[in-house]
Structure 1
Amino acid sequence: MAASLLACGIDPERAILFQQSQVSEHAELSWILGCLTTMPRLRHLPQWKMKSKIKNEGSVGLFTYPVLQAADILLYKSTHVPVGEDQIQHLELAQDLARIFNGRYGDLFPEPAALLSSTRKVKSLRDPSSKMSKSDSQAMATISITDSPDDIALKLRRAVTDFTSEVTFDPEKRPGVSNLVTIHAAMEKMSVEEAVSQARGLDTGAYKKVVTEAVIQRLTPIREEIERLRSDPAHLEGLLARGTLRARELAAPVLREVRQRVGFC
């Protein structure tokens, strides 16, 4: 994960990169915030509804995971959080918990706002009614940043579309083709309208090749950089260790203040 984030452009001099499990303040704040959260509030969150339905019986860890996410955010008094559209409700939980805590114990946490990219949600290549997810059981449904060019080409060639050959953007009526347009626009850093304009005169089969080329061109340098970084694990471990120290310096005084306000010390 560290190699992937660095390869995607995260600058460790500007952002603190660390393993959450190495900063115990996250877990302790999560427990405290969990005491301010109701079970009905968590039951309505999308991750629990989706994954517990698939597994028939979800774990307590899955149920309370959004509270841990809220702790991850509030522990650093974050004001803005980059999220996908599917995480908006989880961020709203963090906002609610900030309000609840502040209301009971005095102002401490800002209410974090969402930072949404223009590409809000990429859909599954096999089922464009659902989001693309690394946990999807269908290997052909998801493109990974470490996929080879051949794997990317195969997955996009088999992507679900429809029987209309023209390329248009209509997520409701043509979710599969619209998903390809979304991916193309994201990879080329252009608008959906520009992507559709570039596809004018192409059928969906030919357009899949255009999208494939755009994805390969964007992901190949990232994949190669990941491989380079992974070849030097000592560098990654050192970077994470330094990040852990910096994160603790920020997290410890915030948790100390939380403990004092709730009466733990």
Structure 2
Amino acid sequence: MQRIFSGVQPTGNLHLGNYLGAIRNWVRLQSEYECIFCIVDMHAITLWQDPKELVKNTREVAAGMIAAGVDASKHIVFNQSMVPAHAQLAWIFNCVARMGWLNRMTQFKDKAGKHKENASVGLFAYPNLMSADILAYKATHVPVGEDQKQHLELARDTAQKFNNDYGVEFFPLPEPLIFGAAARVMSLRDGSKKMSKSDESDYSRINMTDDADAIALKIRKAKTDLEPLPASAEGLDGRPEASNLLGIYAALADREKAEVISQFAGRQFSDFKKELVDLAVSVLGPINAEMKRLMEDTSHIDAVLRSGAERADSIARPIIKDVYDIVGFHHP
């Protein structure tokens, strides 16, 4: 069976965008692939993290994944720092990848901003660790969004260069798994900005920990305009909030957006929002309840992560041993 590797940052406050954009897709991949789902705590510290918050957030992300339907008994869920192979292979890739490749990474420019000289070395070399995450398991496929395509290209280039440098056919070149029209979930307060946990207003996002009352309140307060809902996609031009709410409804209902637009054509937002509340609560309510239950039993979450790390390590360790032999590291 082909193997998927996918990672998620332990940034806390998992929201609807994380669920529709990534976690729900992972749940659907489980029947077709062997899946390794990693909470990338080593990537997280490229920007400073409060240690206690990092522990809490790691558990919360694991709880969110399991509550949403990731089967941690059949597939692997763990946090990155528990498996040494990630750091071991990242160093080797630091010596394989070229500075020029990393200089072209747009995400570094975005995150470092104007203060490039003050950014951590980790933030700059982050893509080499991402390559190691994937290739330490010889993963064949990686689910990627638009913003990660460049990093996957770098992983392929690094695998190719390693194979060429050492005259081996060792690492596979991982393929991207790009989902159809992935739900791009925008802020409930500003339809031109992505839904984000860093937005100051909690009303801008639906958190996976929100109960039915909070979900209903946030949808009722979501920004809209005065016009009724349009009869076609063209009618959404210049109406980002309308477009966002219709897109959220379509994603939650697992239907085409055009179909939803025609269903609600000409209706008032007040009407539409009532139906969106019912749908959001029916989909997210059970996930929220299960997440809360899991977060109250941290010993269970920790046991899942330990078991996942042991299984991940058993796959990665022989691969790293072979890499060490190829590179010429002497371990008598």
What interval of TM-score do these two structures reach, taking the shorter chain for normalisation? 0.7 to 0.9
How far does the alpha carbon of each residue in 1:93-131 deviate from its partner, in whole angstroms, 9 at most, with x for none? 222222222222222222222223334232233343343
Instruction: Tell me the secondary structure at the aligned position of residue 169 of structure 2.
Output: coil
Separation of aligned partners in 2, 1:166 and 1:55: 44
Aligned residue number for residue 2 of structure 1: 62
1:48-97, CA deviations, whole angstroms, 9 ceiling, x for partnerless residues?
23322287753322222222222111111111122333322222222222
Q: Identify if the C-alpha distance between structure 1 residues 39 and 163 changes in structure 2 by more than 3 Å, giving closer, same or farther.
A: farther
Indicate the residue corresponding to 2:140 in structure 1.
79
Once residues 101 and 164 of structure 1 are traced to their aligned partners in structure 2, the CA distance between those partners, rounded to angstroms, is: 58
CA spacing shift, 1:46–1:9, aligned 2, 3 Å: farther
Q: Does 1:181 align with 2:251?
A: no
Mapped to 2, the partners of 1:102 and 1:52 lie a distance apart of: 32
SS in 2 for 1:18: strand
What residue is the counterpart of 1:33 in the other structure?
93
Deviations 1:128-185 (A, max 9, x none): 3343233344433332211223333343344444554324535764333222222111
Task: Pick closer, same or farther for the CA change 1:70–1:220 going to 2, 3 Å.
Answer: same
Structure 2 vs 1, CA of residues 17 and 211 (structure 1 numbering), >3 Å: closer, same or farther? same
Change (3 A) 1:42 1:131: farther
Could you state the TM-score of these two structures normalised by the residue count of structure 2?
0.71
- Aligned position for 2:159: 98
1:142 corresponds to 2:205: yes
Query: SS of 1:81's equivalent?
Result: strand
Q: 1:231 Cα deviation (Å)?
A: 2.5
Tell me, what secondary structure is at the counterpart of 1:10? coil
- Partner SS, residue 76 of structure 2: coil
The answer on whether the counterparts of 1:169 and 1:181 sit within 8 Å (CA) in structure 2 is no
1:248 counterpart residue number: 313
Tell me if the contact between 1:124 and 1:130 (Cα under 8 Å) persists in the aligned partners.
yes
Which amino acid is 1:9 matched to?
G
Between the aligned residues of both structures, percent identity stands at: 43
Compare the two structures and name the one with the higher strand fraction: 2
- The one-letter code matched in structure 1 to 2:143 is P
Distance 1:251 1:219 in 2: 35
Q: Are 2:303 and 1:238 equivalent residues in the alignment?
A: yes
Structure 1 CA distance, aligned partners of 2:88 and 2:247?
40
* Offset of residue 205 of structure 1: 4.2
Tell me the CA shift for residue 219 of structure 1: 0.8
SS in 2 for 1:98: helix
Number of corresponding residues: 265
- SS in structure 1 at match of 2:176: strand
- Partners of 1:239 and 1:35 lie apart in 2 by 34
* Residue of structure 1 in register with 2:322 after alignment: 257
Task: Work out whether residues 185 and 244 of structure 2, in 8 Å CA contact, stay in contact via their aligned partners in 1.
Answer: yes
Pairing 1:82-231 to 2, within 5 Å after superposition = 82-105=143-166, 106-120=168-182, 121-162=184-225, 164-167=227-230, 168-169=232-233, 173-231=238-296
Letter in 2 for 1:52: A
Task: Label 1:141 to 1:34 Cα distance change in 2 as closer, same or farther (>3 A).
Answer: farther
Q: Which ranges in structure 2 are unaligned for 5 or more consecutive residues?
A: 1-60
Structure 1 unaligned regions, length at least 5 = none
Tell me which residue corresponds to 2:21.
none
Distance in 2, Cα, partners of 1:128 & 1:42? 32
The 10-residue stretch of structure 1 (247-256 or 113-122) with the greater mean CA deviation from structure 2: 113-122
Q: Contact 2:228/2:266 (CA < 8 Å) preserved in 1?
A: no
8 Å CA contact 1:157, 1:208 repeated in 2: yes
Give CA-to-partner distance per residue, 1:202-242, whole Å, 9 cap, x none: 23443333333322221110010111122222222222212
**Partner secondary structure for residue 36 of structure 1:** coil
The residue that corresponds to 2:38 in the other structure is: none
Q: Secondary structure at the match of 1:17?
A: strand
Q: Helix, strand or coil for the counterpart of 2:233? A: coil
